Amino acid sequence: MDEAFLTRETVHAPELSGALAWLNVDAPLSLNALRGHVVLIDFWTYCCINCMHVQPTLQELSRRFADEPFMVVGVHSGKFSAERDPERIAEAIGRYGMRHPVAVDDDMRIWSRYAIRSWPTVVVVRADGTIAATAPGEPDLERLSAFIRAELDRARAAGTLAPERMDVTPSAPTHEGPLRYPGKVTFLPDGRVAISDSGHHRVLLCGPTGRVEWACGSGRRGLLDGPAADAAFDDPQGLCWFDDALFVADTRNHVIRRVDGATGDVTTVAGTGELGPLHAEHALAQAKEVGLRSPWDLCVVEDAIFIAMAGSHQIWRLLPRTGEIELFAGTGVEALLDGRRAGSAWAQPSGLTLLGEDMRDGRLVVADSESSAVRSIVLATGEVETHMGQGLFDFGDADGDLDAAALQHPLGVAAEGSDVLVADTYNGKIKRLCFGETPTVQTVLEGFSEPADIAVSPDGLWLVADTNAHRICGVRDNVVSTFSVRGAPPVQTGVLTRARPASVPPPQGWFDQRLDPGPNGLRPGPAELQLRLEPPAGTYLEPGSPWRVAVEVSRRSDLLTLPEGGAIDGAVGEDGMKVTVPLFVGSLTASQVEAEMVLTVDHVVCCRGEQARCVMSRLHLRVPLRLQRDDGVEALSVAAMTNRVDEP
C-alpha cells in the first residue's frame, strides 16, 4: 500500500442528515451512529449507467467484509425530476438488487456538503469519522477492496474499530407474478413474442396470446451458456430475431447471447464477460475477443445487428455470420453532437429501431436516454441528426413542434409507418414523433410506470413493457389491456459466481501514486497543473504515441474548476510526455484551503531488448492541492512514473 496515499487527514465527513427518506433500512442512519465502522458512501442516480456499473462492486465488497465493521451507504441525488420520488428510487433498488441502505437526497443537500460534482462518486470514511478518500467514476474492485482492508486494519490497530458490524440488513424483496421489471419486448416474424424478463434474469418466448412456450434462463443471475433451462443471464434487455435465432443484449454481463430458435440452447457470441473500456475505438475484430460495455438494445439491418452500447455512449455493429464486431458511431464522450457518425457523441443510447427498409434508404432511430433525445443515423451517408432533445440537462414533458417538445429519459423507440413511437420512460407516456413538413410530438398514451420499450406488430398491435408495473400491455386503437403471460416456469434464485484468475495479484492500493506538488498553493484566478510522465529504466515513451488524461476535482469542486469535458488528448513529443491542465481557482474566504484532483492517464509504454513491445497502460493518480489566497502561484508541477510493461 502506498504510504503517502494513506497519510491521515483531519477532514471530518459531513453528516447524512436532511434526507427526504431512507430506503432499505428501518430508520435513518447517521455517521455518528456508524462511528467505529469504515463507511463507503456511494453517490448515485438511477438513470446513470456508470452508477449501475458500480453496483456489482459494492455488492462484492459487502460480501467480502460481511463479518467486519464495514458499511455501504447509498446517497441517491437524482438528476431527473422523476428520480427524486422515493417510490421510484425504491423500484430502482429492487430492480438492481441493492441490499444496502440508501438516503434519498432529493434537494442534493448531502451532495453539496460533500462537494460532489459528478455521478458516480464514492467516498470512504474512516472509523474515526474522517474522510479517507473521495473518487469520482467507476472504482476498480481490487484496488478499493485493498484500500478498505487497510483502513480496517489501521482502525483495529488504533483501537477505533467497532467490535462488530451494526445489523441493518433489509428483508429480502418479494414479488409475485410471471414478470419482474420486464425491460424489452419484440415481435418475431411468425407472430410470437419475446420478452426480456429482466428482473428474473431470463427471456420468455410466448405465443401470440401470451402462453409461454419456453423460458431461457433459470432465474439465477450469472453468465452460463448451455440448455435453456440451465443458462444464466444478468439483467437481459434488447432482443432481435436473426437467422432463426433470438439475439439478446445481456446487459450486466456485457455480452450478446444467441438463443437457438429450435432448441433454445444459449451461446455467447460477442463480448468477454468483463466490462469493456469507456472510450472504445475498435475496428472490425472477432466479437468474442472484444470487451463490451452494457449493451442495451439490438436492431437488425440486413446482415448486421446494431447495438445501443449504453455504457460507452456509442452505437456498434455485430456481423453474426462472420463473428465480427465493430464500432459504428460515437467517440465515447457522453454528449449530444451530430455530424459524421465517427465524430458524433451520444449519451447512453438505450433504444433502437429501423425507419425504412435497409441500408440504402433507412435511418437507425435511437432513444438517447441521458440527453432525453430522439436521434437517428442516415445509414447510407453516416450522418447523425437530432430530431428532439437539447443536451444532458435539458428535459421535460411537452408536446408540439420539435423545438418546444421535451422528453424525460426515453428508453425505447419503435417505427410505425413513417412515424416513431417513443417510450417516454420517466414521464410514463407513449409519444408519437411525426415527420413531415412540420414535425411534431404528441402524447398518445399515459399512465404507465416507467415504460422501457414498445413494439409494433404488422397488424397494428402495440406491446408496451410497463417495467415498474411488472407487466406487458397490449394496445389496439388506443385501448390498453394486459398481455397475459401464462405458463412461465418457477424462477430459481441465487447468483452464479465466476472465478477470477488466481495468477493475477490484486493491486496494492486504490490509486497508483500520490503526487506531491510541494508546499506552494495555487492563487485565485487562472492556474495550471503541469504533469510530466517519466518511464522507468528499460522502458520509453514513443514520440507520437497518443495519450489521454481524464481529470476530476474530487475535493472542493466549488472552488477549483476545470475546463468543460474533463479530458485532454495529445501525443508524446520528442522531449517526452508533458500535460498542462488549465484550472480556475475561485475567490477564497480563508487564507488557504485544501483541495484535491484525481487523474486517469491512458498512454502507451514500450520496452527495449529481446522482448521489445509497446502496450497500452493506465495510471490512477491522486493530487492533493492547496489553494492559497496570499502568496499563491499560478502553476504547479508534478511528475509520475509510468507502469512497467510487464506489470499487470
pLDDT of 279 above 70: no
Could you tell me the pLDDT band of residue 497, with boundaries at 50, 70 and 90?
low
pLDDT of 509 above 60: no
Write the burial class of residue 49 (CB in 10 Å: 0-12 exposed, 13-18 middle, 19+ buried): buried
Share of the chain above pLDDT 90, in %: 71
- pLDDT recorded at residue 313: 94
Could you tell me the pLDDT band of residue 4, with boundaries at 50, 70 and 90?
very low
CB of 294 within 8 A of CB of 251? Answer: yes
Q: Give the full edge-to-edge strand order of the sheet including 314-319.
A: 285-286, 324-329, 314-319, 304-309, 295-301
Q: In sequence order, what are the residues at sequence separation of 6 or more whose Cβ sits closer than 8 angstroms to the Cβ of residue 212?
A: 178, 204, 205, 206, 485, 486, 487, 488, 489
Per-residue three-class SS string for 489-513: CCCCCCECCCCCCCCCCCCCCCCCE
Could you tell me the pLDDT band of residue 620, with boundaries at 50, 70 and 90?
confident
Say how many C-beta atoms besides its own lie within 10 A of residue 303's C-beta. Answer: 12
Could you tell me the pLDDT band of residue 506, with boundaries at 50, 70 and 90?
very low
- The pTM of the full predicted model, rounded to 2 decimals, is 0.79
Beta strands at 525-534 and 635-641: parallel, antiparallel or unpaired: parallel
Share of the chain above pLDDT 70, in %: 93
CA gap 394, 406 in Å, rounded? 8
Instruction: Return the residue matching grid coordinates 410506470.
Output: 449
Encode pLDDT of 288-304 as tens digits: 999 999 999 999 999 99
- pLDDT recorded at residue 283: 82
pLDDT of 1 above 60: no
What's the grid cell of residue 145?
A: 477492496
Query: Helices 49-64 & 141-158, crossing angle to 10 degrees?
Result: 40
Give the torsion sign (CA, 533, 537, 542, 548): negative
- pLDDT recorded at residue 512: 78
Instruction: Give Rg (Cα) of the chain.
Output: 25
- Give the range among 58-67, 181-190, 500-509, 522-531 with minimum mean pLDDT: 500-509
Could you tell me the pLDDT band of residue 121, with boundaries at 50, 70 and 90?
very high
pLDDT of 614 above 80: no
What's the grid cell of residue 534?
A: 517519466
- pLDDT recorded at residue 436: 80
Could you tell me the pLDDT band of residue 503, with boundaries at 50, 70 and 90?
very low
- pLDDT recorded at residue 502: 37
What's the mean pLDDT when you consider all of the chain? Answer: 90
Encode pLDDT of 57-111 as tens digits: 999 999 999 999 999 999 999 999 999 999 999 999 999 989 999 999 998 999 9
Residue 569's nearest CA partner among 560, 561, 577 is: 577
- pLDDT recorded at residue 525: 94
What's the grid cell of residue 233?
A: 443471464
Q: In sequence order, what are the residues at sequence separation of 6 or more whose Cβ sits closer than 8 angstroms to the Cβ of residue 133?
A: 123, 124, 147, 510, 622
- Count how many Cα atoms sit within 13 Å of the Cα of residue 9 in the half-sphere of its side chain: 19
CB of 30 within 8 A of CB of 108? Answer: no
Per-residue three-class SS string for 339-374: EEHHHCEECCEEEEEEECCCCCCCEEEEEEHHHCEE
CB of 556 within 8 A of CB of 627? Answer: yes
pLDDT of 500 above 60: no
Could you tell me the pLDDT band of residue 344, with boundaries at 50, 70 and 90?
very high
Give the torsion sign (CA, 289, 290, 292, 298): negative
CB of 276 within 8 A of CB of 294? Answer: no
Domains of the chain, start order: 1-165 (3.40.30.10), 185-482 (2.120.10.30), 514-648 (2.60.40)
Encode pLDDT of 511-566 as tens digits: 778 898 988 999 999 999 999 999 888 888 888 888 889 888 877 777 888 877 66
Beta strands at 21-23 and 102-104: parallel, antiparallel or unpaired: antiparallel
- pLDDT recorded at residue 590: 85
One DSSP character per residue, 91-111 reads HHHHHTT--S-EEE-TT-HHH
Position 38, amino acid: V
pLDDT of 176 above 70: yes
- pLDDT recorded at residue 432: 98
CB of 31 within 8 A of CB of 125? Answer: yes
Interior CA angle at 476 toward 473 and 482, to 5°?
25
pLDDT of 316 above 50: yes
Position 62, amino acid: S
E-strand spans in 17-169?
Answer: 21-23, 38-44, 70-76, 102-104, 121-125, 131-136
- pLDDT recorded at residue 545: 84
CB of 257 within 8 A of CB of 247? Answer: yes
Encode pLDDT of 202-253 as tens digits: 999 999 999 999 999 999 999 999 999 999 999 999 999 999 999 999 999 9
- pLDDT recorded at residue 136: 86
pLDDT of 169 above 80: no
Position 507, amino acid: P
CA gap 121, 602 in Å, rounded? 20
CA gap 128, 29 in Å, rounded? 16
- pLDDT recorded at residue 171: 62
Mean pLDDT of 165-176: 76
Instruction: Return the residue matching grid coordinates 479517507.
Output: 132
